Amino acid sequence: MKMAKFLSNLFGMDDEDSAATDYYNQDQTAPVTTNNRKVVSINRGKSDLHTNGKIALFEPRIYGDAKEIANRLLDGQATIVNFSQMDPKIARKTVDFLNGAVFAIDGEIKRVGEQIFLCTPRNVEVSGKAAEDLAREHDSENF
């Protein structure tokens, strides 16, 4: 017995180590916490693939107005946005934000006037040569 204890101590296997090993081998449960974050599906407008026949018109003045435009797009509604009342630098940021929103819903954004954009969800098709010519004409201008 003394020999076994001597060998155990020699190799670092004493009673304290086995107690520590037993402690770490026990299953412990962690408290469960719930997270009350608001989650909004970006697909909420995709359930109805038929447009309701309405187009929302916006003339934003501040960057924060882009949230309402994006919400309309998420609901499946096309929007026309006139940036004539907005500072050009902020308008560029807003167009970038709307590009992201349109990308997320697999929609399109097209320039239809000098400072006017048409944002559509994926269930709305935009066709016409005038919009294409105007987009090419103004690619390097204002925004």
Which is higher by pLDDT, 14 or 94?
Answer: 94
- What are the helix (H) ranges across the chain? 2-10, 15-25, 66-74, 88-104, 129-137
Average of pLDDT values for 80-92? 92
Fold of 55-137: Translation Initiation Factor IF3 (3.30.110)
Task: Quickly state the pLDDT bin for 48 (edges 50, 70, 90).
Answer: very low
pLDDT over threshold 70, residue 140: no
Structure tokens at 80: 């026309």
**9-17 contacts: CB < 8 A, separation 24 or more?**
none
DSSP one-letter code for 7: H
CA distance 55 to 118: 10
Digit-coded pLDDT (tens) for 1-20: 676 676 667 666 655 555 66
Q: What percent of the chain has pLDDT over 70?
A: 54
Q: What is the pLDDT of residue 96?
A: 93
Average of pLDDT values for 74-83? 91
Digit-coded pLDDT (tens) for 95-135: 999 999 999 998 999 998 889 999 998 888 777 766 556 55
Structure tokens at 101: 């929103």
Task: Quickly state the pLDDT bin for 81 (edges 50, 70, 90).
Answer: very high
